[in-house]
Amino acid sequence: MEIMMKVGALVVDPVSKMPVLILKDTESDQILPIWIGLYEANAIALTLEGIVTPRPMTHDLLKNFLDQTNIKVDKVVINDVRDNTYYAVIYCHQHDISYLIDSRPSDAIALALRTNSPIYVEEEVIKLSQTPEAGQSPEESERLRKLLESLKPEDFGKYKM
């Protein structure tokens, strides 16, 4: 089953100094943190802040290409997590032809934000993300717990980086 999510926040992990994209269930308090790269965080942040760059960035270019070829993004789905790596699929269509495009979640979300497409996460992915990974140290688990607990309700819906 797919759970509709929205971008709740974009924060920086105080230890690793890497951006963390926080997805929030639209129906509950359930969240999914995904550590992403700096460039992807910037692409997401630009859209969240409504900043238009003088020249198209990569995700803007992709959106322009899709618009020009009449391909519509129906939704993006984070559909798997393996070895702490998340996977996503972009669902698109052009006329009567459907396409499934493999993607990194951060790129899929950056595109979804630009095309106003819904973001979903497979329920199993959320369950797996809540289970400590084999080999994950207690310190890493505790660090993640503290980061997530430090988020306040007002953090959701804001870009913080």
Residues 57-99 have pLDDT tens digits of 999 999 999 999 999 999 999 999 998 899 999 999 999 999 9
Whether 134 shows a pLDDT value over 50: the answer reads no
For residue 157, pLDDT beyond 60: no
pTM above 0.85, yes or no: no
Q: How far is CA 93 from CA 6, 10, 71, 160, in A?
A: 22, 29, 6, 34
Residue 11 class from Cβ within 10 Å (0-12 exposed, 13-18 middle, 19+ buried)?
buried
Q: Per-residue pLDDT tens for 5-49?
A: 999 999 998 888 899 999 999 999 889 999 999 999 999 999 999
Convert the pLDDT of each residue in 111-121 to its tens digit.
999 999 999 99
pLDDT given for residue 151 in this prediction: 60
Amino acid 130: pLDDT: 76
What was the pLDDT predicted at 53? 94
Q: Which residues contact 144 (CB under 8 A, 6 or more apart)?
A: 33
Distance CA 14, CA 17 (A): 5
